[in-house]
Structure 1
Amino acid sequence: MLEEKNDNLHEADGKSGIGLNDSSPDDAIETSISETTTENETSLPESEVENIEAEEADHQEALDAITNSNAEESEDETLKERHAIPMQDYDTFSLDALVDELKRLVNTDKVMSVKDHIEEIKKSFSLQFNHLIEEKREEFNASNQDPNEEFQYHSPLKSKFDEYYSIFREKRNAHFKHLQTNLKLNLENRLTIVEELKELINPQENIKDTLKHFNELRERWKNAGAIPKDKYNHVWNNYHFHVENFYDYLHLDREARDLDFKYNLEQKQKIIARVEELANETDISKAFRELQDLHRIWKEDIGPVSKEHRDTIWNKFSELTKKIHDKRELLFESQRANEQQNLEIKKEIIATIEVLATEKVGSHSQWLVQIQKVEALRNDFFAAGKVPAEVNEQTWAAFKTAVRNFNSFKNSFYKDIKKDQNDNLNKKMALVAKAKELQESTDFSATTPIMKQIQEEWKQIGHVPKKYSDKIWKEFKDACNHYFDKLKEHKSEENSDEVAAFDNKKAYLDTLREFQLIGDHKTDLDAIKAHIETWKGFGKVPFSRRHIEGKFNKILDALFEKLSLSKKDTEMMRFSNRIDSLSESNDTRKLDNEKIFIMRKIEEVQNEIFQLENNIQFFTNTKNAKKENSIVLEVRKNIAIHKESLEVWKDKLKQLRNLNQQ
C-alpha cells in the first residue's frame, strides 16, 4: 500500500467544527481544481455548446467559492472559528451597544475569528458617530456667538471604542507577524517536497525504496502547515500533478497502485455519500461549511483514483457541490430581498424627515414635538437593518442630509429668539446681583419678602442661552440658599425664646384670671393696661401655640365689659392688642391685609353716611320740613352712629400707619 489505510473521513460525518465561508461566490478568483479535463471529441451544435459552457461555468463558480474559502482558511486556521460567532446586524445597534459588543469580541483568544465582526462594528460605529459629530457641530455653530471659539466635542464612548479597537489591532498585528513568518517557512518546505517528488521518477532506484520515500514525502506534506492563500491553488495543483505522475510511473508495481486507487475511491465515495445527505440539510450555511471541509479532505488528504473512475466520481462530486451552492445562492437572494425591503423603509423615513424640515413651526413647545418626531424616526432608521452594500453609503448620506436640513431649519428658529434669551440673561444676572447683595442681611423681616419676590421673578423670566444657564442658576441658588440658611439658623435661635414666652404667658393667664376690678375706673383701666404691657413683654410664642393669645383676649374682653369703657375705647384697646401681636410675629402680609380691610371699611361707612345725608336732604325739602318726623330722627341717629364708627376706623388706620413708620 502507498499509504496507511486509516479513515480520512473523520470530519466527513459533520461532527467536527467546520469553518463557514461567508464570502459571496462573486468574490471567487479564477482557478482550476478539476482532477482531469476531457476534450469533446465530437462536434456539437453551437446552442448545445453554449449550454454546456454555461453549465460548466456554473459548476466552476460553485467550485471556486469552495476553493477560495479553503485557500483563505488554510492560510489561517483560526478563521474557521468565525462561523461559530453569529454575525449581527450591527447597523441596528446603538453606539453604546456597539462598544459593549466590541469589548466582548476583543477578549476572544483567536483574534482572526472575530476580525470580520469587528470591522463591521467599526463601520457602523463610524457612520453613527460621524453623524452625531455633525449634529453637535451644527448645534455649536447655531448657539455660539464667538467666531474665534473652535468646536470641541469629547465623547467618553468614542474613547472607549478607540481603546478596545486599539487592543484588537495590536492582537491582529502580532498574529499576522507570527503567521507570515510561519507561512513563508511552510511554503519553502512544500516547494522542497514538490521538487523531491519530481526526482522520485528514477528508473535506477529500487521501487521499494521509492515507495518508502514517496510515503515519507506524503506524510511530510500532510504536516507541512499553512501557506499563503495566493499560493495555495498553484502549490496544491503542482503537488497533485506530480503525485499523479508518480502513480502513472507505478505501472511497474500495478498491484500496489491499484490497491491505493481502490482505497482512495472508497474514501471519495464516502465523501459523496455525505454530500448527498448535506444536499437535504435545512441549515444551508451549516451544509456549506461542512462541504468546504469535505473539499479540503478530498483535495488535501485523499490521493487520486484510477482513470476509469476519475471523471465519473469528480463529476458526481461537482454536481452535488453545485446543488448545495445553488441553495446557498437562494439564501443570499432572500437576504438581498430583505436588505432591499430595509432600503425602502429607510427611504420612507428619510422622506418623512425631509417633510418635517419644511413644516413651519412658531413656538418652542411645537419645536419640541417636531424634535421628538425626528428622534423617533432616527431610532426607526437605525432599527431598520442592513441595506444592500452598494447603496449603504448613499443611504447614509441622504439620511444625514435630511437630518442636517431639519436641524438647520430648527436652528434658524432659535436664532431668531436669541435676542430674547440674551434679554432674559440680563434680567437674571440683575436678580443674581440683588440676591448676592441681600444674602448677608440680618434684617430678616424686611429682607425675606424681597428674597421671595426675587425668586418669583426668576421663575417668570424665560430661557437664557444654554451656555450661561447652569452658571447663573448656580450663582442665584447659592445666594438664596445662603440667605435662607441664615434665616433658618435665626429662627432656630428664636424658637427657644418663643417656648419660654409661651410658658410665661401660660402661667400668667392664671394670675390674670384671679385679677379683680376694685371699682375705680382709672385705677382699674391702668391695671388692665399694665397687664397688657406685661403680656407683651413676654414676647412672641411658637406659631403652633398662638391659641394662647385668644385666651388672653377673651379674658380682656370680660374685663373691658366690667369696666364699662366707651365702645370706642374698648374697640381701640382690643385692636391695639391685636395689632401688637401681628407686629411681634413679623407677619407683614396680615398687617397689609388688615390695612386694606380698614380702608375698605372707611370707604363703606363714608358711602353710607353720604347716602343717609342725601335722604335727610330729601326730607328737609318737603312741605313738612319744619317738623321732623320719626323717620328723619332715626336717620340722624344712624348718621351719628356711622360717624362714630368712621372715627374708630380712621383711628385704627392711623395706628397702623404709625406702626409702619416705626
Structure 2
Amino acid sequence: MEEQQDMMLSSEQMPHATAESCEAQEAATSAKEQTSVGVEKVAAVPEGESHDSRVGEESVDSTKRDLTEQEEEEAQEDEEEPTEDRESITTMGFETLCGLFREKAKRDPIGDARREVQQIYEALLRQLKLQRDEERKRWLAQGGVLNEFVAVERPIEKELKEIYDAFQNRRRELIAREDDLRQQNLRRKREIIGKIEELTHQQEVKGETFNRFNELRKEWREIGQVPRAEAEDLYQSYSHQVQQFYDYVELNRELRDLDYKKNLEAKTELCERAEELMTEPDLHKAFKELQKLHARWKEFGPVLREKSDEIWERFSAASSRINQAYRDWLQERKSLYAKNLSVRKEIVLQMEELMREERAKRADWVSTTAKVMALQKAFKEAFPVARSQSNIGDVFFSMCSEFFNRRRAYEKEQDAIGKENVEKKQDLCLQAEALKDSEKWNDTKEELIALQQRWKTIGYTPRKADQQLWERFKAAQDYFFERRKEAFTAQKAEEIENQKQREALIAEVEAYQPEEDGKSVVERLKEFQTRWGAMGHVPIRSKESLYTRFRAALDTHYDHLRRERKEEYEQAYVAKLNSMAEDANGEHQLVAERGKSQRKLEQLTEEKNRLETNMSFFGKGDQTNPLLQKTHQDVERLEREIVSVKEQIKAINKRIRASKEQKDGGGAKEDR
C-alpha cells in the first residue's frame, strides 16, 4: 500500500522530462538492446521506443529456455519412479490390491495419486492375467482344446475397469479445466496489456492513472499460469507496455528511481537466493527452485540503468553455475543409469533361471525364496535407471509375482497333503502305543522298526503338528525299548546262570562211565538230553560251542553203543545166513536176501544224494540253522546204514561162495 501511495502522484506533481533526457534514454536503451545475445523478440518494439532492462530479462529467458526445454524434460522423463511402492504392490494379495485401488482412485488424479493408481491397476491386470492363465491350464489339463477356451469376464474385472475409466475421465476433465483456466488467464493478461496500453493514450495523466496502473500490475501478478507456448510472447508484450507507460508519462526520476529501487531490492533478494542454491546438495531441487526464481524475476519491473547489467550478471552468474552443475549431475546420472541397468539385466537373467528350476520339496522353495528376496534387494539397490528402461522393472516384478503365486499354490497343495500326512502319523502313533506294552521283544522290535521306516516315507507335515506327533511316537518307542533293555539285562544274568548249568551237565556227561546194559545206557543218555532241553537260553556267543561239546559227549557214548550193537548184529546176521544156507533151498534164499540188501543200498544212496543236494542250498551263514543241522545228522545216519548194508552184501556173497564150495566138495567126494 505504501508503494502504491508513493506512486499515486498527479500529473501536476510530476516534473516533465526534457527531450534531451528522453533521447538519452532511447540511446542507452538502443545500445543495451544491441548487447543482448541470442534474443528472439516475438512482440516487436516500434523503432525509437525504449526497451529499458528487458534485454537482461530476455537473456534470462533464453538461458532458461536452453536448459528447460531440452535437458529438464529429458531429466524428468529419464528418472524412474522409486521402486519401494512398486515392490510392496507386487507382494500384495489380489483382494488387498482391489481395496487399495478403490481407495486411491477416489483421490484427485494428479501427481503421485495418478502414478499410484496406474501402478496398482497394472499390478491387478498382471494378477488377472495369471489367474486367466491358470484357468487355461486347468482347461487343458481336463482335456479341453486350446482354441475352444473362452475366458468369461468376472464381475470384479468389470468393476476395476469402470473404476479406472472413471478415474481417467476425471483426470481428462481436470486437464481440460486446467487448459481452460490457462486460456482464461491468457485472455485476462492480454486484457491487462490492452488496458495498460489504453492508459498511455489518455490525454491527461493524473494520480488515479498510477493507481490504476499499479492495480493492473498487481492483478497481473495474481493471475495464474498461461499456456507455455504463449508465456514468452505475453511477457515481452507486457514488459513493452509497462515501459511504454513509463516513457509516455515521462515519470520523473525520483518516482522512477523509487520504483527501480524496490525492483532492485527484490531482484537482489532473488540473486542472494540463487547464490544460496549454489550450495544446495540436492541439484535437482536447486534447479527446480531456480526455475521459480526466474519466474519471479519476470514479476518485477526494470531497475536503474547503471544497476541493470550488474544485477543481471550477478543473477546470470549464479544461474549459470547452477545450470552447469545440473548438467554435470545429469551426465553422472546417465552413467549411473547405464550401470544400474546392466545390474538389473543380470538380476533378471538370474530370476529367469530360478523360474525355470523345478522345486519338489519345501526346502527347495524356502531356499529359492531367500534367493528371490536377495535379488529383490539387489534390484532395489540398483536405482535409479532411465524411465525409458523402466519396463525392466515390470518384467522383474512380474516374475517375482508369478514366483510367489506359484509358492502360494504349492503351500495350498502342501497344506492338503500335510493334513493327510498328519492323519497317517497319528495312525502310526496309535500302532506304536498299542505295541509298547508287548513282551514279544524281538517280534515287537521288528514291528516298531518297520513303523519307523514308514514314518520316514511320509512327506510334508506342518511343523508344529509334526513336532507334537514325533514326540508322541518317540515316547511309545522309547517306552518299549527301555522295557526291552531291562528285560534283556535280567535275561543276560539268567543266560549266564544257564551257561553254568549246561557246562556242569556237559562235564557230567563226559564223566559218565556206563556199567549197565545197552538199554539202560540209552535211557540214561536220553535223560541227559531231556535235562539239556529243559535248560534256558545261554549267551548267543556260547550257544554253538556248548552244543558242540554236549553233542560230542553224547556221540561218544552212542558210538560205543553202536559198536557193541554192530558186533552183536553182525554175529546174529551171520547166524541167520548160516541157517539159510543149511536149508534145502538155501542158495536161493541167500540170493534173494542179497537182492533185498542191494535194493535197500540203492534207496539209501538215493536218499543220501537228495539230502546232500538240499544242503547245497544253504549259505555259509546258515550253519546254525536247526534244519541244516538235522539234515547233517540224517546224512551221517544214512552213511552208517550204507556201510552196514554193504557189509551185509559182502557177508551174503561170502556165504554163497562158501555154500558153493561146500556143495562142490561134497559132490566130488561122492564121485570117489
- Normalization by structure 1: what TM-score? 0.46
Larger Rg: 2
- Normalization by structure 2: what TM-score? 0.45
